[in-house]
Structure formats: structure tokens, C-alpha cells
Amino acid sequence: KRPAPVTFLTHAMSSQWNVRPSDCAMRTMNPIRALVDMMDLRPNPDLPLIRLSIGDPTVFGNLLPPAQATLALVEEAVTYKSNGYAPSTGYAHARRAIAEKFSHANAPLTEQDIVIASGCSGALELCIAVLANPGDNLLLPAPGFSLYQTIAQSRNIECKHYALQQDRSWEVDIADLESKIDEKTRAIVVTNPSNPCGSVFSKEHILDILAVAKKHCIPIIADEIYADMVFKSQEFHALAPLSPDVPVLSCGGLAKRYVVPGWRLGWIAIHDRHGIFGEAIRDGLTRLSQIVLGANSVVQAAVPRILKDTPQSYYDGLMSILETNAKRCYEILKTAPGLKPVMPQGAMYMLVGIEILNFPEFSDDRVFTEKLINEQSVFCLPAQVFQAPNFFRIVTTLPEGETVEAMNRIVAFCKKHYKPSA
Amino acid sequence: KRPAPVTFLTHAMSSQWNVRPSDCAMRTMNPIRALVDMMDLRPNPDLPLIRLSIGDPTVFGNLLPPAQATLALVEEAVTYKSNGYAPSTGYAHARRAIAEKFSHANAPLTEQDIVIASGCSGALELCIAVLANPGDNLLLPAPGFSLYQTIAQSRNIECKHYALQQDRSWEVDIADLESKIDEKTRAIVVTNPSNPCGSVFSKEHILDILAVAKKHCIPIIADEIYADMVFKSQEFHALAPLSPDVPVLSCGGLAKRYVVPGWRLGWIAIHDRHGIFGEAIRDGLTRLSQIVLGANSVVQAAVPRILKDTPQSYYDGLMSILETNAKRCYEILKTAPGLKPVMPQGAMYMLVGIEILNFPEFSDDRVFTEKLINEQSVFCLPAQVFQAPNFFRIVTTLPEGETVEAMNRIVAFCKKHYKPSA
Ligand SMILES: Cc1ncc(COP(=O)(O)O)c(C=O)c1O
Ligand SMILES: Cc1ncc(COP(=O)(O)O)c(C=O)c1O
């Protein structure tokens, strides 16, 4: 293939306005926004709109941050001590507090191992940017959170998806994962607990994933923003402590567990017990962090108190609400003809399968959810944006009244449109 | 030139840990950090260290944010209303307040024209990322703020520098600027008032710059983070209102004027009266903003009150301190043999020329400042990091006592090392 001929513009020729967005800007795409913008959304004016679409626990006002978090923020603000530039990787005392909170006997952390970023999103961006070049690839879960792909595409990094298994509580299909690895794979992204699945991996399952990573020498980016957000019968296992050798960048943040996504406080915990990441990756993360200087300094200063002072009862209360809600949704949706809700084990989401052949009016999850909003004023996200076609995702953070009302409307909608198989 | 041969690694061969930072991470470089890390800094233990190096107005505790800003932040925090995700370009009411504050009869703004970002740094990154592809170039001022280059290099965008003229209060050398434009030039970055120069451009001078941009059809990125921070005899002219047609992305933020750099609240004001940027550039900015979701929501919610409630006396007081300090520094440094301070007209910096041939012990500004810290415990930034070799930059934000003490030590240092020309 020969290179395209080069055209030399003369000054005279170029002197017209010719301002175009960069390729990077055009590649950068939030698939949720892109799809929602394309949808024909006209909620039924006779019914109040209920949005089950947004992964923001604050929007309904029923879930509040711990009082300790707001208090810490306010008290740090009025000391006037933390209004200045923090180091690009974050204040040392904030990093120390995060290291202490997430340190584990098998995976110890010091403040040197923490990089504070603008939300877990910022942390993920740093991790992806430091590990992969254009043309390299990342392995992403399907269904999975769409931001990984947004970041990767923006940087011309390829995405390959490995399957999670619906009938096995969304565990990874290990053979599929392994088959997707090639010589350009730079990291495996593991989301646990999962958005959009609400799944929580067992220790054994995490060990199986780690075995693949170890065998093929691929580092893991563990998105653990929902760490510890698991239902009563479940246990959360952080990924890094289960491996003595796989290098892991674990991403977390305050957004979900402390119900403050707007505060934009996230972090990376670097687990690298055998120096595989080494100074080079740490240095790369530091360099990348210098461009924008992540997180708000007052929030950073409040982090030690937020992590230490929030009482266990707060965490328990939040999870109890989320679990009660999830069960409520599951029980009602189970009665809807043509739906297959998958009961979550944690986080704040549920995926609901649509037996699309039994809804002959609707070609896919997009059309299904479009009609659902237009008839019933209930907005669920079509899960094709999470690589889960013919599912929709609901959030389980709404107050009981709205939740039950929304579920009943979904059932009514299904009853109306369901056609039994011939 | 033939392509390099492609090596296909077999799976077996690749199964060793081989984790390297990406090219992007390695290209990303803060020249200030890189140089300071290389310097041999051993402050004289007999003298307290005075840092004139950091452009953070909060570090000495003498300059505080307006009480209204902290109050607004605290009051927004305790309403619990702004803890959720803001739209990726910012809350509408915050954007509206910024639009109102910076709207001008000749360059009107609405909330649609504002993109909120993580600091002015985040705003600059969005602007550069949306306008330039790898291989394109930006025209940057020399001397100039180093972040533009950090962002550009990280994205493989080329930097070309145009000269500011020391003997003309750091005005742009218009002929030099024009000569640097080529068919790959995507934007001219104009910093006014300037870091590191402390210069403030006249209306006529801005019109000269705009004429070049118009003639060659190159949009302008106006870094106006120091907007309105000018000394008594000066007037600040925003760039966009002076042009009826050049499309301008004007970047600003709370960092300097409100003495809260850690809050990370910046913005872009899109000035595009003839639709040259058009929907495409706006859409590109929105897309890019979706990756990390810029600024803290509580600070965003406080923006309207910060901009409206801060009394004029606060701004006046801050500028009076900065001007008094700048004069104080200038008057003392003028007496130092071998130094040529350039009196600033605004912002919070001064560049000081070193007649390096009269300091035969020191080969350049780096060695000069290194020895200055080691003998006198005064830390000034060697201005080669700002493309101003044989200058150093001082900040004018210190309390009077430290300022005078530091200046006197610099004078003593020069007296000791100055050698008159033969
Ligand atoms: C799996 C996952 N990772 C990361 C994020 C982003 O978190 P943050 O708001 O801290 O950027 C989210 C938010 O929904 C998420 O679901
Ligand atoms: C000229 C200039 N632009 C932008 C910035 C960055 O501002 P922010 O702290 O809001 O990112 C600075 C900070 O020193 C600056 O001097």
C-alpha cells in the first residue's frame, strides 16, 4: 500500500477558516449518551417519569452521604489550610489514609502506592493511559461499564471483550477470557462488584482470573469502586491480596460508598510486590497526573476523616437499603412475562433479560426501553450500551414508593406486549 | 523508507512480564519538575528557606480566599443538594453565572458557551485536545507557561514558540509570531496577563495579535486565568471582545483571583460569533469532557455566589498587595549588580534577567539559582523552564518580611559573585 500523496497547501490556500475537531475528540464517545440521544423519548404525560437509568445514588434524595463526610469537608474548608495546590498525586496524609484503609496483610500499601485522581474515572484513565499504546488492546468485561471503552477509544487503544455468564451470576467465562489474550494485550480490566451486573465474585473465581493473568503475564486493572458494597450473604474479596505476583492497579473512590459522586475523589492503589510495574509505571502515573492535577484539595484533606469516622452503621444502612430494593425489584420483575431479572449480589444495579422474541413489536432492548418510557414513563437503560444486548439495566437506589411503582409499571408493560411463543 | 520488519511473538515468548509505561506517559513531562528534580538543592542550613518558586498564592498564609467563597462552599455542602454527578460540562447555573460575569457587549456569552473543567489546566487540555491532531502544531509564547507544552507533547502535538520582547514589556514580536504560522498550525495560545512575565497587553497590542490570527485564519486559545489581575495604572482587555470574527476559546478559573487553586475549578468560554467553531467543536469539547467529569460539584454549586458576592474591595486588596510587593521586589533587585528585573504590570510574577557573562562562575540560570539556594536559601525558578534562558522567575505573593529578606539576600548573592565586564 503506497502512502497517499502529500499536498502542500500554500499560505494563500490555507487562509480560510478551516477549524475541525481533532480525531481524538471525534473518537471520544460515551455510548450511553450516544444511544440516549438517539432514542425517541416522550414519556407518557399522564404518568410521572421515574428514572431507573442513572447510576447516581444522590438523585432521589433518599440516600445521603455520611454526616461525617460533609462535616469533614466543611471543617477543612473553614481552616483555610487546604486551598492550595496539592501534589499531583495527592496530599500525603490523604494518600496515607487510603493506604491504611485498603492495606491488607497479603497486599500491604503505603502512601507511596496511592495516586489520587479526579474520581475513579480519572484513576481509570491514568491506568489505561500508562499501560497501553495506540494499537495495543485491553480486555474488558461484557457486560461491562462503558467508560473503559470511552477512554480506550479516545486513545486509539483497542477493546476486546470477554464474556460474563448470565447463568452463572455473571462470572467470567475463563476460557473466553484466555482466548482473547494476544501479544498486544496490555491489561485485563476486572470490575468487582460489577456495574451493570451487580455481581460479586467469589474468592475462588478471582483466583481463576488471576491464574489466567499470571499464565499470560498480563497486569490487571481492578475497578473496585463498589468495594465492600455487597449484600448480607456475600463477601467482598479485593483482588490484589489474592495474588502474590500479578501486578494490580486497583481503582476506587468515594463516589458510591459515600454517596458523593460529584466530589470527584478517586484513587489508584498500586500493588506490585515483585517490582513488575517498577519505578517506570509509578513514574508514568505521576507524569500523567501532572497535566490536570486531579482532585479538589478540600475533599482530599477531608479524606482521612471520611474514611476513619464514617461509622459501620452507615455502611450497613446503605447496603441494607440497596439489598431490600434489589430483592423488591427482583421479586416483582420475576412475575413479568418475558423478563429474566438476574438477582444482584451487591452494588446498585440489576440487569434484566428481555425474551425479545416474545415481544414481536420490539426489535431489541433499545426499542423495548423506548416504548417503556413512552407508555409507562419508566426509563431503564438499554444494556446494549454495556455490551449486553436484550437486557436492560435498572438502578436500585430509588425510594421504596418509586421502586414499587416503577416495577409494577414494567410488569404491566410486559403483560400488554408479551406474546407467548408459538 | 521501508517499514521495520514486524516480529510476531508467539504466546510462549510473550509469557514473561514485560510491562512498560506507554509512549504517552513517557512523553508527558512537567519541565519544572524535571528541572527541579535535576537540581542540586541544599539550602544553607543557617538561613530559613524562602521559596519564591511556587505559583500558589495560598502557601504563605498571607493571602486568603474571599470569605464569601468559603462561606458559599460550606453552605452548598450542608444543603446536601450538590453531591451528585453534574453534567460533564458543568451545572447549568454555574455555567450561567460564569457566562454573565464574563459576557461583554461585543462578545456575549450564554451558559451554552461555557464548559466547566478541572481547573484552568483542565480547560486548556480540552482546548488543545479538541483543536489539534498529532503532528499539528500550536504557537506558544516564549517566555510562557510550561503546561501548554506538557499537554501538547503528551498528545504528540508539536510546539512552536513565538517571541515575547523583554524590552517592550514582553509584548509579542508580531513578525516572529506570523513567521511561525504554517499549514499545520491549529491555534495560537495567548497568555494575558502572563505567567511568567507578569505582563499585561494593551488593547492595541491585542488587536495586532488578532490581525495575525485573522489573516491566517488561526483560532486563539486565550489563557486568561489572570483576567483582571492588573496593577492600578493598567487596564485588562479580554481578547475575545476585541475581535468580531476570530474564534476564541478563553480559559479561566477561580485559582488565582480567588486564591483557591486547590479547588480545581476552571472553564472555557467559547466565543464563536460566525460559527467557525460551529457545533462540531462544541460537540468535541463535550465529548472530551465526558471522560473524567471535571470539577467538584459542591464548588460548582458555589460558583454563582463566589462570582457575585465577592466584594470589589477583595479584588482591590489582593491587587494592591501584589502591586506593592512587585514594586518592592523591583526596587531592591534593581540595585543588584548583574540583574535586570522587568517590572510586571499584573499577575503575581516577575522575570529577572541575569547578565550571565558577569557571573563567570555560573553557566546559566539553572546554576545561578542552584547556587542561590545553596548559599542564601532563596529558591527562584530558573526561567529556562519557561523558555526564558538566563532569567529567573519570582512570585510576588510572599508577606512583606519574607519578600524584603529574600530580595536582600539575592542582592548580597549578586554582589558576591558579580564580575564587571573587562
Ligand atoms: C464500575 C464503575 N467504575 C467507575 C465509575 C466512575 O466513578 P467516579 O464517579 O468516581 O468517576 C463508575 C460510575 O458509575 C462505575 O460504575
Ligand atoms: C498561565 C496559567 N494558566 C493556567 C494555570 C493553571 O491554572 P489551574 O490551577 O486553574 O489549573 C496557571 C497556573 O499557574 C497559569 O499560570
Look at B217 and A17 and tell me if their CB atoms are within 8 Å: yes
Interface size between A and B, measured as CB pairs under 8 A = 248
Question: pLDDT at residue A14 above 60?
Answer: no
Ligand nearest the Cα of residue B294 is 1
Smallest Cβ–Cβ distance between A83 and the set B260, B284, B292 belongs to: B260
* pLDDT tens-digit map of B192-251: 999 999 999 999 999 999 999 999 999 999 999 999 999 999 999 999 999 999 999 999
* pLDDT tens-digit map of A167-214: 999 999 999 999 999 999 999 999 999 999 999 999 999 999 999 999
Alpha-carbon distance of A256 to A262, in angstroms, equals: 10
pLDDT at A15: 65
**E strands within A231-271?**
248-253, 265-271
CB count within 10 Å of CB B205 equals 18
pLDDT at A40: 86
Q: What is the dihedral of CA B48, B49, B50, B55, to 10 degrees?
A: -150
Amino acid residing at B333: L
Mean pLDDT of A109-122: 97
* pLDDT tens-digit map of A209-221: 999 999 999 999 9
pLDDT at B273: 83
CB count within 10 Å of CB B8 equals 7
Helix (H) or strand (E) holding B372: helix B365-376
* pLDDT tens-digit map of B121-147: 999 999 999 999 999 999 999 999 999
Amino acid residing at B14: S
Alpha-carbon distance of A293 to A300, in angstroms, equals: 12
The DSSP call for residue B396 is S
Question: Are A337 and A127 within 8 A, CB to CB?
Answer: no
> Cell digits for B275?
460559527
Look at B280 and A20 and tell me if their CB atoms are within 8 Å: yes
The response to whether residue B253 sits with its C-beta less than 6 Å from ligand 2 reads: yes
In order of A15, B162, B174, the CA distances from B212 in angstroms are: 11, 13, 8
Smallest Cβ–Cβ distance between A121 and the set B33, B280, B291 belongs to: B291
* pLDDT tens-digit map of B274-328: 899 999 999 999 999 999 887 999 999 999 999 999 999 999 999 999 999 999 9
Confidence class of residue B4 from pLDDT cuts 50, 70 and 90? very low
Please state, for a pLDDT cut of 70, what percent of chain A lies above it.
96
> Cell digits for A420?
407467548
Alpha-carbon distance of B136 to B173, in angstroms, equals: 22
* pLDDT tens-digit map of A251-297: 999 999 999 999 999 999 999 988 999 999 999 999 999 998 879 99
To test the ligand 2 pocket, which listed residue (B121, B164, B300, B351) has its Cβ within 8 A of the most ligand atoms? B121
CA atoms lying within 13 Å on the CB side of residue B177: 26
Q: Where are the alpha helices (H) located in A63-118, listed in sequence order?
A: 67-79, 92-102
Look at A290 and B30 and tell me if their CB atoms are within 8 Å: yes
pLDDT at B15: 64
Selected residue of A62, A74, A83 to mutate for chain B interface (largest B Cβ count, 10 A): A83
Alpha-carbon distance of A258 to A306, in angstroms, equals: 8
Q: The complex's ipTM?
A: 0.94
Distance from CA of A357 to the nearest CA of B (A): 35
The response to whether residue B261 sits with its C-beta less than 6 Å from ligand 2 reads: yes
At residue A210, φ and ψ (nearest 5 deg) are -60, -35
Q: Report the helix count and the strand count for chain B, using DSSP H and E.
A: 14, 14
Q: What is this structure's pTM? A: 0.95
Largest CA distance in chain A: 72
* pLDDT tens-digit map of A52-104: 998 999 999 999 999 999 999 999 999 999 999 999 999 999 999 999 999 99
Question: Are B390 and B353 within 8 A, CB to CB?
Answer: yes
Please state, for a pLDDT cut of 90, what percent of chain B lies above it.
91
Look at A277 and B19 and tell me if their CB atoms are within 8 Å: yes
Dihedral (CA of A369, A370, A371, A373) sign: positive
Question: Are B369 and B385 within 8 A, CB to CB?
Answer: no
Higher pLDDT among residues A218 and B18, named by residue: A218
Question: Are A183 and B8 within 8 A, CB to CB?
Answer: yes
pLDDT at A9: 41
Ligand 1 atom closest to Cα of residue B85? 9
Ligand 1 atom closest to Cα of residue A265? 10
Ligand nearest the Cα of residue A194 is 1
To test the ligand 2 pocket, which listed residue (B120, B127, B265) has its Cβ within 8 A of the most ligand atoms? B120
pLDDT at B187: 98
In order of A57, A408, B406, the CA distances from B85 in angstroms are: 9, 28, 45
Ligand nearest the Cα of residue A225 is 1
Query: Which chain B residues are within 8 Å of A14, Cβ to Cβ?
Result: 183, 216-217
Q: B254: CA distance to ligand 2 center in Å?
A: 10
Q: B279: CA distance to ligand 2 center in Å?
A: 27
Burial class (CB in 10 A: 0-12, 13-18, 19+), B95: buried
Cis check: omega of the bond before B193, within 30 degrees of 0? yes
For chain B, the average pLDDT equals 94
Strand partners of residue A349:
A395
pLDDT at A118: 97
The response to whether residue B199 sits with its C-beta less than 6 Å from ligand 2 reads: no
Look at A217 and B18 and tell me if their CB atoms are within 8 Å: yes
- Sheet of strand B339-342, all strands in order from the earlier edge strand to the far edge: B339-342, B349-354, B391-395, B381-382
Question: pLDDT at residue A13 above 60?
Answer: no
Buried b (16+ CB within 10 A) or exposed e, B12-49: eebbebebbbbebbeebbbbbbebbeeeeeebeeeeee
Selected residue of A298, A303, A385 to mutate for chain B interface (largest B Cβ count, 10 A): A298
Q: B252: CA distance to ligand 2 center in Å?
A: 8
Question: Are A164 and A157 within 8 A, CB to CB?
Answer: no
Q: What is the dihedral of CA B268, B272, B277, B279, to 10 degrees?
A: 90
Mean pLDDT of B187-194: 98
Ligand nearest the Cα of residue B255 is 2
CA angle B143/B144/B147 to nearest 5° reads 150
Distance from CA of B19 to the nearest CA of A (A): 6
Selected residue of A19, A218, A277 to mutate for chain B interface (largest B Cβ count, 10 A): A19
CA atoms lying within 13 Å on the CB side of residue B391: 23
Dihedral (CA of A355, A356, A358, A361) sign: positive
Helix (H) or strand (E) holding B58: none
CB count within 10 Å of CB B157 equals 24
> Cell digits for B140?
506558544
Torsion region of B259: left, alpha or beta (phi above 0 gives left; psi -120 to 50 gives alpha)? left
pLDDT at A273: 83
Smallest Cβ–Cβ distance between B33 and the set A16, A277, A290 belongs to: A290
- Sheet of strand A158-165, all strands in order from the earlier edge strand to the far edge: A114-118, A265-271, A248-253, A220-223, A185-191, A137-142, A158-165, A171-172
Confidence class of residue A36 from pLDDT cuts 50, 70 and 90? confident
Question: pLDDT at residue B383 above 50?
Answer: yes
Question: pLDDT at residue B10 above 50?
Answer: no
The response to whether residue B119 sits with its C-beta less than 6 Å from ligand 2 reads: yes
* pLDDT tens-digit map of A396-420: 999 999 999 999 999 999 999 999 9
CA nearest B269: which of B105, B109, B159?
B109
Look at A284 and B216 and tell me if their CB atoms are within 8 Å: no
- Sheet of strand B158-165, all strands in order from the earlier edge strand to the far edge: B114-118, B265-271, B248-253, B220-223, B185-191, B137-142, B158-165, B171-172
Strand partners of residue A161:
A140
Q: A22: CA distance to ligand 1 center in Å?
A: 26
Question: pLDDT at residue B357 above 70?
Answer: yes
pLDDT at B34: 86
Question: pLDDT at residue B348 above 50?
Answer: yes
Alpha-carbon distance of A89 to A95, in angstroms, equals: 8
Q: What is the dihedral of CA A110, A114, A116, A117, to 10 degrees?
A: -170
